[in-house]
Structure 1
Amino acid sequence: MKKINIRAFHPIVWALLLGTVFARGASYMAMPFLALHLSRSEGINPVLIGAIIGVGPLMGTIGGFFGGNLSDRYGRKVVMLSSIFVWTFVFLGFAFASSPLVFFLLNALNGICRSFFEPASQALMADVTEKDLRLRVFSMRYTAINIGAAAGPLLGAYFGMKSAGLTFEITSASYLMYGIAIAMLLSKYKVRNTASAKGRTAMKEAFQIIGRDKALRLFILGGILVNIGYSQNDSSLPQHLGQILKDGVVLYSVLLSVNAVSVVVLQIPLSRLVEKWKVLHVMVLGSAFFTAGYIGFGLSLGWAGFITSMLIVTIGEIFLFPSTSVFIDQIAPEALRGTYFGAAQFRSIGNSAGPLMGGFLLRSVHGHWLFCIMAFLVGASSFFFIAGNRLQSGQAVPGAALNESSVKG
């Protein structure tokens, strides 16, 4: 396998990748323990805790489109820096908050900041990277996220034993340093201004463009199906293991480790293996691995079957999730790249609907059938991806005429 050529990527890309490791690690150190922290607070019942935890992803789903569009209109730098510095104070607020309303508002802001920062940062990575290297960049970004996800909870358990608020203070400091580093790099390297007159598409006009892009809508529908299935890893899978195995909790911990370690170890070699393939083929291959893995979850009765199935699911996410970012980059008009990355956040509807659907099926038809049904749903996503790719290949760039005549100056 060839070594990664460091000089092939812009310094800003490396800074964002390194920052992703530390920032995501810090976030995973604090946020997974938020429910536990809330449960120890007086006057916050389980229903309130559920509302507080759920508002973050909800606001993230809604806010992604707006954040991406704003980055097209006013530039990546403005949106990224404003969101990450607000984020810093959000995490600091978690450390000192005591009122349920304050926790609710803070987590709503947490979701908004993430939904503003992530599409803008992905669009910036694409802005400064050659097209044939973007799959590798997004694969490396996904690896960075998973390194943070693997290390963060372990650090959170260690620091959380000393003080629940300490984890949020460390996370706040990490995001502050990340923001300062981004500000310095964006001042040093003059990235082409994305907020040109051509790119200043008003929010209403952006909605019209997205509404006319059938390829994007089909992609989002396929992504929702994938996320409905993937959300079962956190919601239904541990319950299913607990129902059929005495040591199901232990096995679930092992499966999480298998997932995290496999992503870190396999991401780069597998992405190099398929980087010359068409993006659609990689996405369909990823869906096929997901489907096989969930059938495995449905049929497995012991450790070996579940571990093998988790490995297959992990290979599926390695292929599918980074390639979806490349697909969005390919179908997006250059002046609307941030808007498209933001609109893609609507896939997160699946993360909200999935646990509810999984809970209903787990109670109604048992876990074996649940995962077989999820395998069917995830497999069906390929039809949406294929249909969207065919539309994208055979149609003009969506909204091109609108951009020529009605953009804001």
Structure 2
Amino acid sequence: MNQIKTYINQYQFHPIVWVLLLGTVMVRLASFMTLPFLAIYLSKTHDLHPVLIGVTVGISPLMGTIGGFVGGHLSDRYGRKPIMLIALFCLSLVFFGFSIASSPLLYVLLNALNGLCNSFFEPTSQALIADLTDKKNRMKAYSLRYTAINIGAAIGPLLGAYFASVSANSTFVITGSMYLIYAIALFFLLNMLVENKKVDSKNVISFLDAFNIVKRDKALRFLILGVILINIGYAQLESSLPQHLENSIINGVFIYSVLLSINAVFVVFFQIPISHFAEKFSPMKVMMVGAILLCAGLVGFSFVNGWVSAILSIVLLTIGEILIFPSNSLLIDQLADENMRGAYFGAGQFRKIGHFFGPIMGGALLSQYGGQWMFIIISFLSLGSILFFVLGNKVYLKQVVTSLKSL
């Protein structure tokens, strides 16, 4: 605990950065109260067909791949404040809508809006953190943000299970209320503490120009492709793993629930020390090591036969994600021009393609070849991310050398 206090006191962040970190805990806790149970809720309460449930759940990350770039670009052009606040108020309405929805089409529409609004808010908030934080402290800020996400992930499902036993609709109302409170608080604090900076009119670029610039950035493109492969593997944690454990070991469902808690708690307690050590190395090297560990965890799940092997596998996977995801944010920040930071973080949302296709690929392989071969195939596919990370690093280093020569 003293180490955490020393770490926090050593690096003074802008007050709004702390507000965003605390707000991340609050809204992620709220969303984890509801979204992990959405499929079960739709199945039991509305008796929807499994395919329709899959479409309803999968539409959110799919919309996120589209909306992230648009929201990031708009935040560059019109400022961070309006994009973030509009997204938060809309998310509040989305969850209130879930509480009164009755038709399958409405659930699909609401979860699509959920994915779209989140993809507007997430890259914009990351860009604002970068705007307000010195370069030397940005990795620490991204690491704390990732820790905040996992605090919500550790507590949210437990609260969700409790409130769902009382009233399923109440969880949606509580989540909507927490988003509304966060939006109102952020509205006043942003107006008091942060100037809404927009790109100078001389430097304003169109959406097409922004898309073409990112399209030409090979380093960013390689980074996104690598993280998509990582997310294909990581998505199995919530899709194929519970099915595999249920079919392969005794008390598989109970073991799975414990593994999720271990994953979240491990991130909360070890994110800071691991990230502090990782800062001694280049972000791309850190991501390569993370990819190896994450894939080792996936391979471990293919041979799981009880508690020991299951816990060892989730620990390896968790260390891998701790190394990969904050480093990914830092690399996007390093690649981005000052007036295009939002667009770059928005383009980073294309990683959610892996979250969309991962469960589909895992499910197909699971039904065709069984859990053991599914995890082996997916792990080797995810390991291919290292090739893209190496290529992206080479391109990035060339860009740095070229820019230094031009000075």
Query: How far apart are 1:42 and its partner, in Å?
Result: 4.3
- Other-structure match for 1:402: none
Distance in 2 separating the partners of 1:188 and 1:80? 16
- Residue 324 in 1 paired to residue 324 in 2? no
Q: Which amino acid aligns with 1:255?
A: L
Tell me the percent identity: 55
- Residue 143 in 1 paired to residue 140 in 2? no
- Residue 373 in 1 paired to residue 377 in 2? yes
Distance in 2 separating the partners of 1:134 and 1:30? 31
> TM-score when scaled to structure 2?
0.94
- Residue 25 in 1 paired to residue 29 in 2? yes
- Other-structure match for 2:206: 202
Query: How far apart are 1:327 and its partner, in Å?
Result: 0.5
1:183 to 179, 187, 207: 187
Name the CA shift for 1:369/1:45 in 2 (closer, same or farther; >3 Å): closer
Query: How far apart are 1:343 and its partner, in Å?
Result: 0.6
Name the CA shift for 1:7/1:279 in 2 (closer, same or farther; >3 Å): closer
- Residue 338 in 1 paired to residue 342 in 2? yes
Residue-pair matches, total: 398
Distance in 1 separating the partners of 2:401 and 2:79? 22
Does the 8 A contact of 2:297 with 2:313 survive in 1? yes
Does the 8 A contact of 2:27 with 2:175 survive in 1? yes
Distance in 2 separating the partners of 1:291 and 1:46? 29
- Other-structure match for 2:123: 119
- Other-structure match for 1:87: 91
- Other-structure match for 2:239: 235
Secondary structure of 2:197's counterpart equals coil
Secondary structure of 1:4's counterpart equals helix
- Render the CA deviation track for 1:100-153: whole Å, top value 9, x for unaligned: 222221111111110000000000001101111111111110110011011111
- Render the CA deviation track for 1:239-263: whole Å, top value 9, x for unaligned: 2112221221111111111111111
Secondary structure of 1:193's counterpart equals coil
- Residue 274 in 1 paired to residue 282 in 2? no
- Other-structure match for 1:407: none
- Other-structure match for 1:133: 137
- Other-structure match for 1:100: 104
- Residue 212 in 1 paired to residue 216 in 2? yes
Distance in 1 separating the partners of 2:94 and 2:264? 27
Distance in 2 separating the partners of 1:127 and 1:112? 23
1:52 to 51, 56, 73: 56
2:41 to 23, 37, 42: 37
Q: Which amino acid aligns with 2:336?
A: A
Distance in 2 separating the partners of 1:157 and 1:254? 14
Residue segments in structure 1 that go unaligned for 5+ positions in a row: 399-409
Distance in 1 separating the partners of 2:299 and 2:40? 33
Query: How far apart are 1:99 and its partner, in Å?
Result: 1.8
- Please, which moves more after superposition, 355-364 or 87-96? 355-364
Name the CA shift for 1:7/1:139 in 2 (closer, same or farther; >3 Å): closer
- Other-structure match for 1:249: 253
Query: How far apart are 1:177 and its partner, in Å?
Result: 1.0
Superposition RMSD on alpha carbons, in Å?
Answer: 1.8
Q: Which amino acid aligns with 1:8?
A: Q
Distance in 2 separating the partners of 1:294 and 1:157? 27
Name the CA shift for 1:99/1:8 in 2 (closer, same or farther; >3 Å): same
Distance in 2 separating the partners of 1:134 and 1:356? 35
Distance in 1 separating the partners of 2:161 and 2:370? 33
Distance in 1 separating the partners of 2:130 and 2:383? 28
Q: Which amino acid aligns with 2:33?
A: M
Residue segments in structure 2 that go unaligned for 5+ positions in a row: 403-407
Name the CA shift for 1:344/1:15 in 2 (closer, same or farther; >3 Å): same
Does the 8 A contact of 1:74 with 1:200 survive in 2? no
- Render the CA deviation track for 1:258-313: whole Å, top value 9, x for unaligned: 11111111111111111232111211111121122222222332220111111011
Distance in 2 separating the partners of 1:46 and 1:295? 28
Does the 8 A contact of 1:72 with 1:199 survive in 2? no
Does the 8 A contact of 1:333 with 1:397 survive in 2? no
Query: How far apart are 1:235 and its partner, in Å?
Result: 1.3
> TM-score when scaled to structure 1?
0.93
**Mapping of 1:259-408 within 5 angstroms?**
259-395=263-399
Secondary structure of 2:281's counterpart equals coil
- Other-structure match for 1:11: 15
1:173 to 174, 177, 184: 177
- Render the CA deviation track for 1:13-59: whole Å, top value 9, x for unaligned: 10000000011101111222222332244474333222222211211
Query: How far apart are 1:6 and its partner, in Å?
Result: 6.6
